[in-house]
Amino acid sequence: MVRHFIVPLVLALASGACRSDPAPAPAPSGGPAWRPGYVRPPVIDVHGHIYPRGLARLERTMVDNGLGLMVNLSGGDGETAAPMAELTRTFPRMINFFNVDWRRRAEPGFGEAMAAELETAVEQHGFRGLKIPKVLGLYLKDAEGRRVPVDWPELDPLWQRAAALGVPVAIHTADPRAFWLPPTPDNERYEELALHPRWSFHGPQWPDRLALLGELENVFRKHPKTTFISVHFGNNAEDLAYVARILDTYPNVYVDTAARLGEIGRHPPDQVRALFIAHKNRILFGTDIGLSDRGIMLGSQGAEEPTEADIRPFYEAHWRFFEGRERGIPHPTPIQGRWTIDAIDLPDDVLEHVYWKNAARLLKIDLATLGR
Ligand SMILES: [Zn+2]
């Protein structure tokens, strides 16, 4: 369990405490100040990292922030899936995704073995998906010391088994552009790179960022029956045209919004809004919240550890972005860049899809679980 806890906290892209400005007071007419009268439905957060000792904190977090369901992308591997399932059996408002044990990657038949473990996790332990972290393509080496590419054919049986089981694959590939630039004070993500030197991919020892996205696209193309959630806004939030092209080209691909409001909200808001409206069935609300006994992660990790008091402003920064029409507001994860974002004022119907309907359909959620 320890390694599953450490991997996302060390490798996950995320940000610091919510030092955002306090949100405005509620409007006298009811509803949030940025959208008077609006009643938010119970929301599904499709991108959480919840560890066993974070479960108590999760219950409070969900009640305080109006969440109907949490998707835990750190459900565990073949060894730890069963105890995790047992722990969450009494907490139906969280569902788990399975994780691959990469330490076994040199074993013959690794892909088949992982496919069989995924099947056990889904059929015996109620898991609802598979999560692949960015280690694939970036950090993993094979027995000969060669980089393991995202489109490694050894994993084909795993993608195929996910399709056969009817569960999606959430996949993180590459990272923001700034991580490929020199980690010097003029880098717009210098603060984050200085704190996490391992997140810098500058230099010839690292694969090209667009080459990684090309490998990811090869997987989408080769496995049209497998549903993929390309996390962090298609793993390329800085390029709206790319995200639109991927969604237009591959009906088997969804994107989530986790830990990328800073990037999404930098684009002209009318363009972002148009993309959300055009693809309202394929965009999922996610945050990249992490809860464990060791601490709280809110989209990234800053120098100071966030506290429980930071969780509500973190979610509110999301509501304010999707629901409001303000310009120049703080984004939820300031360590990911000290700029502001523009809210996108999504229509009610699009909010319904992004906040819960798409996730409920994709994950086959019993709506009674959400209180509907
Ligand atoms: Zn994550």
- Centre of ligand 1 to C-alpha 123, Å, is 24
- Centre of ligand 1 to C-alpha 292, Å, is 14
Name the amino acid, one letter, at 262: G
pLDDT interval class at 25 (50, 70, 90): low
Q: For the segment 330-350, what is each residue's pLDDT rounded down to a tens digit? A: 999 877 888 999 999 999 999
CATH 3.30.2230.10 fits 2-8+42-364, yes or no: no
- Centre of ligand 1 to C-alpha 37, Å, is 32
Q: For the segment 303-334, what is each residue's pLDDT rounded down to a tens digit? A: 788 889 999 999 999 999 999 999 999 999 87
Q: For the segment 270-298, what is each residue's pLDDT rounded down to a tens digit? A: 999 999 999 999 999 999 999 987 789 99
In this predicted structure, the answer to whether residue 81 has a pLDDT above a threshold of 80 is yes
pLDDT at residue 89, as a whole number: 86
- Centre of ligand 1 to C-alpha 84, Å, is 18
Domain ranges for the chain, please list them: 2-8+42-364
Residue 106: CB atoms within 10 A of its CB come to: 11
pTM: 0.91
Q: Which residues, at least 6 apart from 259, have a Cβ–Cβ distance to it below 8 Å?
A: 13, 14, 15, 47, 232, 287, 288, 299, 300, 333, 336
Region 193-210: mean pLDDT is 95
- Centre of ligand 1 to C-alpha 16, Å, is 14
Distance in angstroms (rounded) separating the CA atoms of residues 284 and 254: 7
